[in-house]
Every structure is written in C-alpha cells, then in structure tokens.
Amino acid sequence: MPGNGDREHRHRSVLPFRAVPAEVRLLRRAAVAQLGRWGVLQAAGETELVVTELATNVIKHVGEGASATLVLEREGERLRVEVHDKSPSAPSRSPARCDDECGRGLHLLAAVAANWGTVLTAVGKSVWCEITLAPERSCRRTERAAAVLENYRTLPNVTPEGRLRDADLQASAVELIADLLHWAAAGGHDPEDVLDQAQMHYEAEEGMAA
C-alpha cells in the first residue's frame, strides 16, 4: 500500500489506499503505527474503529476498488482522521438518504469521535472525525461504560434484518470491553480481576450448555 508517513515526527500523515477489504486491514495497521511514532497510542482503539468505518463506507457507497486517501493530523490534544474520496455524495444519518446499516455506522462515529463532519472538495468529499487525546478521554470511556451498564437490561431487541455485520459487532464489542475496563479501574476495581471473573462465568455457562 503506497503512503508517506512522517519520519520527522511532524503531525501529519497522508496514506493513499484502494477501497478493498484487505487494504482496510493494512490501513488500520499503518494508522496505529503512525500513532506510535507520535506517542499517542492511547487513541489506537478509537482510531482503528474510525478508520475502519470511514474506509468501509468508501467501499459500500463509492465502490470497491475506488481510490481514496487517509489523512491523520495531530494538533494539540486532538487527532483528526480524514478520508478523501472522489464521490460528491455526503453521508447522512437520515433514514431517507441512508439505510439502517449506514445509519448505525454514522452513529458509531458520533459516539466514538469528539466531532465529525463532511466537507465537499474540488474532486469529491472528505469525511473527518476528531478524537480527543487529553487525559479526560478516560473519563469519557468510563461514562460510556456506565451508561451501557445502566441500560443493558432494557436495550430493545434487534431484529435479524437490523443486525450489524459480524465485523462491525466485533469492533463494537472490543470497544465496549475497553470502556468497561476503564469503568472498573475508575471504581477502584482491578481490571484483571474483572476479566478473570467474566472468564469464569463464561466457562461455567459453557460447561452447563455442553
């Protein structure tokens, strides 16, 4: 995959890519590697989710194999993630313009990012997200986890037709687990103990089902 990272540790990286599933995986790795060079790996999980969603949207709504560009830019306590493509059609959370799966993807962006939007360019558009790098980011994770725990038993059932793809569900599950571990630590619990107890419950239920 072609690209030019920033060897001088400047705060901008431009990574052209082709909109195909295999390239999206490489793009995630390249983005995390760049965060490592900038010393902001604490944003790796959220960045991977944003990069995956934005790149996948190009595949679904511009076309598989389309040319696109990922731009990472760090400024102060914000990390800006942009994906540029050659389609002038802007994404929308409106049901009239976007199907259920697309709408969920955009809601995921809104939940993960501090801010996001779309800019029309001379050759198409740019969809961008900003991720907070400040220490309070951990507090935001804790708040999200607490909100999920409070509403967990009252979440509406999701019909088979409305379910996300397995890859999207897995990405959301990883992010949720990370949030829950931050919540546990904020409450004075040992995250490793929480994971151990969860594993014990899981193994016990699996044993009963066998």
Report the domain count for the chain: 2
Q: In this predicted model, which residue has the larger pLDDT, 53 or 143?
A: 53
Q: Which residues are CB-contacts of 94 (< 8 A; sequence separation ≥ 6)?
A: none
Choose the final residue of a domain: 115, 134, 153.
134
Q: For residue 95, what pLDDT band results from cuts at 50, 70 and 90?
A: very low
What are the strands of the beta sheet with 115-120, ordered from one edge? 12-18, 67-75, 78-85, 125-132, 115-120
Choose the final residue of a domain: 110, 134, 158.
134
Pair (44, 85) in one structural domain: yes
Query: 66-70, 149-153, 194-198: which has the minimum mean pLDDT?
Result: 149-153
Give the model's pLDDT for residue 115: 87
The angle at the Cα of 59, spanning 89 to 166, to the nearest 5 degrees, equals: 120
Pair (122, 167) in one structural domain: no
Give the model's pLDDT for residue 168: 64
> What is the pLDDT averaged over residues 48-75?
92
Pair (54, 147) in one structural domain: no
The angle at the Cα of 36, spanning 115 to 31, to the nearest 5 degrees, equals: 55
Pair (6, 104) in one structural domain: yes
The closest alpha carbon to 5, from 25, 34, 27, belongs to: 34
Give the model's pLDDT for residue 76: 86
Structural domain for 123, as ranges? 1-134
pLDDT at 144 over 50: yes
